[in-house]
Amino acid sequence: MNATLTEDAYRAAGVDIDAQDRALASVKELVRSTVVPGVLSELGGFGGLFALPAGLRDPVLVASADGVGTKLMVAKVAGDYSTVGHDLVNHCVNDILVQGARPLFFLDYVGAGVLEPRHVVSLVAGVAAGCRENGCALLGGETAEMPGFYQPGDYELVGFIVGLVERHRILGPQRVKVGDRLVGLASAGLHTNGYSLARRVVFDQLGLGIDDPLPAPSGDSGAMPTVRAALLAPHRSYLEPLLGLLEQPGLHAMAHVTGGGLTDNVPRSLPPGCRARISTSAWEVPPLFRLLGERGSVGDDEMRRVFNLGIGMVLLVAADAHDEVLAHLAHSGAPGIALGEVVAGDPGVDYLPS
């Protein structure tokens, strides 16, 4: 069979192999920039190879997969795909961090209807930047061009992470007890959740463009960011401020506040017989969230299930370690917020006004 005719036929069907090759040539350099000890393979093989660190007593691998959802649609409107890959890595790092795991390596999937090499490179550049920040290797991935499945100009971005924790250091509900304290860490905005609702309020109801300034919520006279700055604000990684606490025996569990908000994510870190009590006066909900609730006519209960409301991570800490944990966080530059405590009851969250 004539190879040229075959390639032309495939291109006519909507798949451009040459465009994929051009994108992958740039991606290989990005992958090399993330190499860490343990990487045994080059990009291009059928699988990535990674050697576990030596000297471990009882290592356990922790894996997770996630995406950035419709934040990609904001990136499309902005014409800027450079940040969402970084968001993806930080999100996945946080997901395994709650069990005490440090990241080892990352894999990504980029799906497109029509592959634009510059957009793919921009997406992967963000992934590589996130891997470098978090000290993990971008070990491999997949780029798929599927015309007819994805619409032209649309992208899908998914990440897969593997980390490591010693068995005796695994954090989780099994450590949590009545009387433990809840400590919150501030988010950097929406992170990667609630974008379907946020886009409807900002673009459809308020009729704003990507570079328009957001209006302030009622009773707030402070300057507001542009739509671009607010909706493309990065998903924060909590690895650096929490790394020094992973050996702290008083740190019992954590909850990454993603889809489902505080209401659904905090109970994931509670054992039977334990319930979270959170003081709503412990922190001030940032103006962006108040604006979305006000202009979208979203009730308090729904807001707490859709958005993180300014709290991106919750630590469940023994009462006698509470002050030490807060001191560590303050020194790390990520001050902790005393949110409340664990009480007896069925797993869930009670919100108290004070």
pLDDT, mean of each 10-residue run, the chain (354 residues): 54 61 76 93 88 95 96 96 97 98 97 90 96 97 89 92 97 98 98 96 97 94 94 97 96 97 98 97 97 96 97 98 96 95 96 84
Torsion angles phi and psi, residue 238, rounded to 5: -105, 10
Q: Which of 139, 97, 80 is nearest to 257 (CA)?
A: 97
Q: What is the pLDDT of residue 42?
A: 85
For residues 316 and 274, the answer to whether their CB atoms sit within 8 Å is no
What pLDDT, on a 0 to 100 scale, did the predictor assign at position 5?
Answer: 47
Say what the pLDDT of residue 248 is. Answer: 95
DSSP state of 293: H
Entry field: residues in the chain: 354
Taken in order 33, 230, 287, 293, the sign of the CA dihedral is: negative
pLDDT of residue 45: 83
- The partner residues of 251 in beta bridges, in order of sequence, read 317
CA distances from 330 to 17, 241, 303, 320, 321 (A): 51, 9, 28, 17, 14
Contact 168, 58 (CB under 8 A): yes
Distances (CA, A) of 36 to 53, 285, 340: 11, 38, 39
Q: Using CA atoms, how far apart are residues 261 and 259, in angstroms rounded to an integer? A: 6
Q: What is the pLDDT of residue 91?
A: 98
- Which domains are delineated in the chain? 3-169 (3.30.1330.10), 173-352 (3.90.650.10)
